[in-house]
Amino acid sequence: MKHYLNHLLSLLSQHPEMKYVISEKLWQTDFLRFYHSQTNYNISKDNTALEISLYKGKKSYSFNIDDPTAGKIDKALANALALIDMLPEDPDFVDIENDPTVVTQRRKANNIKDIPLSRKTDILTVIADSAAKFGFDIFGTFICNREEYHLINSNGLDKTWEVSPIYLEVKAVHNVSQITVLETFGGEDFSRFDLKAFTDGLLTKIRYAGNEVVDVEAGHYDVILAPRCIAEFVQYLSHGMSAHALDQHSSYFDGKIAEQVFPAQITIVDDPEDADLITSDYNHEGHAYKPLTLIDKGVFKAFTCGNYYAHKTGLPKNGNTASCLKIASGDKTLDEMLGSIEKGLYISSLHYMNFINPRETSLTGLTRDGTFLIENGKITKVVNNLRFTERIVNILKNITALENKSVTVPFSGNYEFFSIESSKAPHVLVREFNITSSTKTI
């Protein structure tokens, strides 16, 4: 154990009246940004951070320490002890996490070491050379992280786990028209990366992007949502599947456990054991993170629920966080779904989404990075980016077909610790998707 943790625990042992949670995070990143098909910069950095939460009766106080030392801990703890008695009580606080389950540690690669800069640039050179033949440059990021966690609390938990996520995002931009298309890869197992398949997928979109650019009128369209799009919609939807949202009266699923809310072809699982995803052994409280079915053949099954809201709401505690969402695949090929559309849209990616009413799951946003017109079963033209307003529950209710394979879709905040999560989804065919206007721009 690190010397500063021993020092902190020694200080806390002098205050038996208090409960505590100590979370240590050791974070490393190798962050490569590329611009106009050239390496723009490469940053390698690391950080150690402590998050400490103290509980005295029903009062609590939390604080963070970066690059901890005994001196920093002394000062921060003294400040916390001086403040905690002045804080209001939380009448709903009962106890901190007490799940003793210790998960068998899964061996994780260190992708910072396994995917060095030379390998990254070799991969990007292949992609850039392929895109250049069509007049496109590539832009984006290639990130590898390594994160080690250690959680200790006064209920006897002492757990460690690690993750090593990968995030590759390639945006191809035409040198004249400025039309953009996007391809991504994410996960933890880089042996699952297929450079040829990745490049072929990007080139398919690049070829579509060479067609005429048109506007479409506002209205309801049959659309094919790329895996990235439906995964993002379900991520937004999952906020309402949390016990927190239920407690805040902002959940569409209030009173709907065991109710058929979507068509029988819709199954959504939070699965931290799927090797295609960025996985974790525990949640941030130290509760063992296990697969949880949220929607089973259209039936709503469970809220994600941590320790605090299990006590407050009476819901079963599962510790899930919806960080590893999977949408079950269907039985159609993408070509079959395209072939069923007389006139519609293929939407590659979404941007600037915001909830209008979380309880109704209504939101608005924009399309970007490749919106295409479908005519008589074929992708024919590029469409200017569009604004849409929809209810996520209506999108899922209007899914009439799902692709027979799923892909992993990474998402990165690119802020502070460049946090990376992933979901897994197929293409889906949605009827009556509501387009409200054109932006008149690519």
pLDDT tens-place string over residues 91-114? 999 999 999 999 987 778 999 999
pLDDT at residue 416 in the model: 55
Classify 13 as helix, strand or coil. Answer: coil
Residue of 360, 240, 359 lying closest to 302 (CA atoms): 240
Instruction: Identify each DSSP E strand in 243-394 by its residue range.
Output: 268-270, 292-296, 299-300, 325-327, 343-357, 362-375, 378-383, 386-391
> Do the beta carbons of residue 283 and residue 328 sit within 8 Å?
no
- Comparing 31-35, 124-128, 279-283, 416-420, which segment has the lowest mean pLDDT? 416-420
pLDDT at residue 104 in the model: 86
Q: Would you say the C-alpha torsion 243, 249, 250, 254 has a positive or negative sign?
A: positive
pLDDT tens figures, 30-39: 999 999 999 8
pLDDT at residue 9 in the model: 97
pLDDT band at 413 (very low <50, low <70, confident <90, very high): confident
Residue of 395, 352, 345 lying closest to 371 (CA atoms): 345
pLDDT at residue 197 in the model: 97
How far is CA 353 from each of CA 219, 295, 358, rounded to the nearest angstrom?
Answer: 19, 23, 12
- Report percent pLDDT > 70 for the chain: 99
**pTM above 0.85?**
yes
pLDDT tens figures, 40-81: 889 999 999 999 999 999 999 999 999 999 999 999 999 999
Q: Would you say the C-alpha torsion 5, 6, 7, 10 has a positive or negative sign?
A: positive
> Do the beta carbons of residue 323 and residue 420 sit within 8 Å?
no
Torsion, Cα of 273, 5, 417, 111 (10° steps): -50
Average confidence (pLDDT) over 249-253: 98
Helix (H) or strand (E) holding 189: none
Helix (H) or strand (E) holding 64: strand 59-66
pLDDT at residue 40 in the model: 86
Question: What would you measure as the largest C-alpha separation in the chain, in angstroms?
Answer: 75
| List of residues 6+ apart from 5 with CB closer than 8 A | 22, 24, 150, 152
pLDDT at residue 378 in the model: 97
pLDDT tens figures, 159-217: 999 999 999 999 999 999 999 999 999 999 999 999 999 999 999 999 999 999 999 99
How far is CA 33 from each of CA 39, 270, 363, 418, rounded to the nearest angstrom?
Answer: 6, 31, 31, 13
The residues that bridge with 408 in the sheet, in sequence order, are 424
Domains assigned to the chain: 3-208 (3.30.2290.10), 214-438 (no CATH)
Work out the end-to-end distance of the chain between its first and last CA atoms, rounded to an integer number of angstroms. Answer: 54
Residue of 246, 234, 251 lying closest to 295 (CA atoms): 234
The 10 Å Cβ neighbour count of residue 319 is: 23
pLDDT band at 419 (very low <50, low <70, confident <90, very high): confident
For residues 407 and 228, give the distance between their C-alpha atoms in angstroms, rounded to a whole number: 9
